[in-house]
Amino acid sequence: MDKILAVGCSHTDYYFKSLFHPEMDTSWPKWPEVFTNNIDNAICNNIGLSGIGNDIILKKVLYECSLNRYDIVLVLWTDITRIDIYDTHTFFPSLPIRENNNFYRLHDKINWIANGRVKGFYKIESSVDSFFKNLFILQEYCKTQSIKLVHGMSNETWDKEVLSVMIKNSLKYQSKLDDSLIGFPFISNVAGTTMRNDVIKRIGEKNAFISDTDLHYSAAGQEVIGNIFYEKFKTIY
């Protein structure tokens, strides 16, 4: 029996609930379950969690794999500019400007992050470099443990500053990252792709997401992502 570990943010979260449509039943199969259904005699431990950033995603993989033996690890990385505050608080700089979101529960002490880039104490360069390091660390860890890895990026960024830094870092890390990674370097107008782009290409934007206001993936979108992960898995393993 293959044991599968899946990690990511709200796009992966087994228990995801829509902040914009709280009455909606969102219990449809998420992409890790779609992937697992393609493999005979396999079980999946989906520990994705809404709101977490990439540092916590990596930590969750390493910690879980230190406790249990997994044959396959699947990771859907989240936005590069998402910031983790310790292990229990997560924060994305653009979210506080939206009304009716559960990120208001965060302590006032971390509100300063929202303006960090403007004030100069939140550096895009450091954030992007940390993200690419996470990709490499996970890749090399899985190799040492003989774990089959497939990972990719959930969303694309349109921030010109972030894109510029990503391009520089992609050149730096291109020779270090292998074909377990889907869509590197995640910039559709330069090279690579993201799950968002691929899902839209396959089923159209109207079908890909929950609604115009909630751009989390619909049941159809989740199915596409699971199939993309499985297609990559079959190609390299």
Written as tens digits, the pLDDT of the chain (237 aa) is: 899 999 999 999 999 988 889 899 999 999 999 999 999 999 999 999 888 889 999 999 999 999 999 999 999 999 887 777 655 555 554 444 444 444 444 444 445 555 666 666 667 888 899 999 999 999 999 999 999 999 999 998 888 888 888 998 888 999 999 999 999 999 887 789 999 999 999 999 999 999 999 999 999 999 999 999 999 999 999
DSSP conformational letter for 24: S
Beta-carbon contacts of 180 under 8 Å, excluding residues fewer than 6 positions away, are 139, 142, 149, 150, 151, 232, 236
Q: How many helices (H) and strands (E) does the chain have?
A: 8, 7
In the three-class reduction of DSSP (H, G, I as helix; E, B as strand; rest coil), residue 38 is classed as coil
User: H-type helices in 9-123, by residue range?
Assistant: 31-36, 54-67, 116-119
User: H-type helices in 37-194, by residue range?
Assistant: 54-67, 116-119, 124-144, 160-173
What distance in Å separates the CA atoms of residue 48 and residue 14, rounded to the nearest whole number? 7
**Which CATH number belongs to the domain containing residue 86 in this structure?**
3.40.50.1110
By the 8 A CB rule, do 74 and 229 touch?
yes
Query: Model-level pTM greater than 0.85?
Result: yes
Both tokens of 132, joined, read 């690419």
Residue 84 pairs in a beta bridge with 90
Q: For the chain, what percentages of helix, strand and coil (3-state, to nearest 5) are there?
A: 45, 15, 40
Q: How many domains, the chain? A: 1
Please give the residue range of the domain that contains residue 19: 2-236
